[in-house]
Chain A
């Protein structure tokens, strides 16, 4: 069974530029999560989707971050414009509907903002 796929793996941009990350969850997983992991910290949930609907985006900085999961499968997370403090690893995870303990994480995208 293929795992959670993310791309790109690494991205370096300058502040005020835009960036987008892509995630393809495990086939059949209805729930998709985007986390931000700053160096030395645990993952922090940014947004959670159930199919193509948003369940929780209370910690998403909506003035600069946006995410979509239009067809209820893959998802994109965008930052526009980026700030220095956005440097982090962005992790995508997915789980079967209702089985929230079975969260499978992708390898993450490491973003560096200069």
Chain B
């Protein structure tokens, strides 16, 4: 079946640093989503991308839809302690809203 490869698996960074993570797939997606999940909570949508090459920002977050439609990137600038959590990418596989999720990138921010 389709596989979403998300990397890195975890990141330990200092407050103020920038963070970059990505998702790649062997299949083409029509939509990419990026979610953040805090412990004991469900994922919360951060950014949605709909077009190849699209670059979208949400505060300190910036995400891009790869030109090949097989990858996506998420950047967090000037990290703060509340950025701690697990970040998931998700790709839409069909028109009925069936998303496939990556395994997540765990971000730990140290002061």
| Residues of chain A whose beta carbon lies under 8 Å from any beta carbon of chain B | 4, 31, 33, 40-45, 48, 50, 55-56, 91, 93, 95, 100-108
Contacts and interface: CB of A to CB of B under 8 A. Distances in A.
Contact of B42 (A4, A55, A56): A4
The size class of the interface chain B forms with chain A is: 20 to 34
A56 B98 contact: yes
B73 interface: no
A42 B42 CA distance: 11
A100 B96 contact: yes
Given A43-B43, A93-B42, A103 B96 contact: no
B45 A102 contact: yes
B96 A56 contact: yes
A41 B103 contact: yes
B97 A31 contact: yes
Given A101-B31, A101-B48, A45 B98 contact: yes
B109 interface: no
Contacts of B102: 42
B98 to A, nearest CB: 6
B66 interface: no
B101 A43 contact: yes
B104 A103 contact: no
Given A103-B45, A107-B42, A108-B42, A40 B103 contact: yes
A48 B48 contact: no
A100 B103 CA distance: 20
A35 B12 CA distance: 28
